[in-house]
Amino acid sequence: MLLEAVLDRSEVSSIAVVDSRGLVVSGAGVERELAILGAVAQPAAEGAFSYACESLTLGTDVLARPLHIPGVELYLAALGTRVSRMHEAARSIERIFANVA
């Protein structure tokens, strides 16, 4: 529900929480774009965007950041131009996962 709310208030077409293997843990938006986010979340968050990532996201921007959860490597990523209060969304996701990790 959190990702749906962020999607609704932002200028993005898809948003997801992605693990270090590129698997979408949770997401909202177009299924094809969620798969793309799985492939590009980690490189985008780490500033290692390759030509392959560029070709997957042609025509849009990728917004990504690592999530700080002990023992778990996750990323919050979106396709579009602006995520409203991304920092707050990331903190909320961190709190959710801290309670289940």
Could you report the per-residue pLDDT of 81-93, keeping only the tens digit for each? 999 889 999 999 9
Q: What percent of the chain has pLDDT over 90?
A: 73
The domain spanning residue 77 has which CATH number? Answer: 3.30.450
Question: What confidence score (pLDDT) does residue 101 get?
Answer: 56
Domain around 28: 2-100
Mean pLDDT computed over every residue of the chain: 92
20, 43 contact by CB (below 8 A): no
For the entire predicted model, the pTM comes to: 0.91
- Torsion-angle region of residue 95: left (phi > 0), alpha (psi -120 to 50) or beta? alpha
In the chain, the number of structural domains is 1
Tell whether the model's pLDDT for residue 99 goes beyond 90.
Answer: no
CA distance 91 to 27: 16
pLDDT in tens, 52-67: 888 888 889 999 999 9
